[in-house]
Amino acid sequence: MALEYGFTQKEKDSYYLSNRVYSSFGRDNNDDFIMLYVYSQDTDLLLQNIMIPIQDVNFTEEGFIDINVGQHLRDAGFSQGDYRVVYKFLRRLAGVERQVYVDDNGNVWDGDVSEKVVNGEVKFYTSTTNPGIDEKDKNTETELFLKDFTYFIDDISTDRTELIIEVDENIKNEEYREDFETMSQLIEYKSLKTDDFGAIKFDTKNPHILEFDIDEKDRGFTQNMVGGQIVIPNLYLETGFEDTTNEDAIIDEIQEIDFIEPEEVVQEKDPIKIPEQTDEFEGRFEREYRDR
């Protein structure tokens, strides 16, 4: 009997979702990647975490990701034993898992680098001209410093649910700082518009349904957008007014209101009497005003 590798039917029933979940993962070749976490089976201790580039996995025509778990473990040095593995499918927002060389002003060096041992310590220097740093036509050695092109955690809350992330002030790079400033902002999605894709239209039979034909190279919507709002600016720009009849307005039934009669006004026993203005009073007032 031939040996069959992979998940058993019981494992498939446990690990596979009964319904497919839409994801745009894999459409961004530059920023999508996979993190593999390997845990011990007994103590649940994290043994190793590995970053897998998107180019190292295969996508089937049905939209599934073909992952060779055994090969990933062997590449990481695990040849035998029982382990628990966790795959996380991520998309980069800011920072890059690599190191860069910068000068003493924080400018990133993209040219060749030479190494020298000075007093038993390895130091790095520029070996070619880089106008971004020295702005000279001749080779001038400038000392460089190796920095991680990532951000660092400055503080963590006591319940470990929040943290403060800071930039490395020794790195003066526009992309590095711009990604940091925009990674918490609202992501504005703009579709790729080609001949037959990238546009939306209302369904001809149901005006409450929007149809969207997406290009296969488009990142598309993400799962966390489900339940959100779609805002269409200038929808009534041609006419300037929305045609409404208020037929769908819901009016609550008006309940009958009981009015309370005010209490009777009690008159004073001896009200203040205002003297009547006679013809004699009006004549006297007119003479006094004329004399003035």
The residue among 182, 203, 230 that closes a domain is 182
In a domain, 274, yes or no: no
In a domain, residue 64? The reply is yes
Does a structural domain hold residue 162?
Answer: yes
> Quick one: pLDDT at residue 134?
52
| Domain stop point among 154, 182, 210 | 182
Tell whether 34 and 103 lie within a shared domain: no
Residue 114 forms part of a structural domain: yes
- pTM of the predicted protein model: 0.51
Phi and psi torsions of 104, nearest 5°: -70, -10
Name the average pLDDT for the chain. 75
Residues 143, 115, single domain; the answer is yes
Note whether 25 and 74 are same-domain residues.
yes
Q: Which of 67, 91, 115 is the last residue of a domain?
A: 91
Written as six digits, the tokens of 48 are 């190793």
Same structural domain, 176 and 103 = yes
List the one residue out of 283, 111, 235 whose CA is nearest residue 291.
283
Residue 234 belongs to some domain of the structure: no
Together in a domain, 140 and 194: no
Q: How far apart are CA 141 and CA 125, in angstroms?
A: 6
204 lies in which domain range? 189-218
214 confidence band (pLDDT: 50, 70, 90): confident
19 in Cβ contact with 210 (< 8 Å)? no
- 7-36 as b/e: b if 16+ CB within 10 A: eeeeeeeeeeeeeeeeebbbbbeeebbbeb
**Are residues 169 and 197 located together in one domain of the fold?**
no
CB of 91 closer than 8 Å to CB of 180 = no
User: Distance between CA atoms of 117 and 126, rounded to whole angstroms?
Assistant: 14
**C-alpha distance from residue 65 to each of 25, 32, 58, 90, 259 (Å):** 10, 13, 6, 14, 71
Query: Looking at the 3D structure of the chain, how many domains does it have?
Result: 3
Nearest CA among 162, 19, 30 for reference residue 96? 30
pLDDT at 248: 54
Q: Answer whether residue 68 is part of any domain.
A: yes
80 in a structural domain = yes
The pLDDT confidence band at residue 208, using thresholds 50, 70 and 90, is confident
Beta carbons of 211 and 202 less than 8 angstroms apart? yes
Q: Is residue 239 part of a domain?
A: no
Clarify whether residues 72 and 129 are in a common domain: no
Within this chain, do residues 87 and 55 fall inside the same structural domain, yes or no? yes
Q: Running DSSP on this structure, what letter comes out for residue 270?
A: S
Instruction: Please tell me whether residues 169 and 147 are part of one structural domain.
Output: yes
Q: Based on the domain organization, do 161 and 134 belong to the same domain?
A: yes
Residue 96 has phi, psi (to 5 degrees) of -135, 140
- Angstrom CA distances, 83 to 33, 57, 78, 259, stand at 22, 21, 9, 77
Which of 8, 5, 67, 14 has its CA nearest to residue 36? 67
Q: pLDDT digits over 30-54, tens only? A: 888 999 999 998 888 999 998 888 8
Q: In terms of pLDDT, which residue wins out, 110 or 238?
A: 110
pLDDT interval class at 163 (50, 70, 90) = confident
Q: What would the pLDDT profile of 60-73 be if each residue is shown by its tens digit? A: 877 778 888 888 98
Extract the tokens encoding 248. Answer: 């769908």
* 231, amino acid identity: V
Whether residue 142 is predicted with pLDDT greater than 80 in this model: the reply is yes
Q: How confident is the model at residue 156 (pLDDT cuts 50, 70, 90)?
A: very high
Distance CA 98, CA 172 (A): 16
- Which H helix or E strand runs over 58? strand 58-59
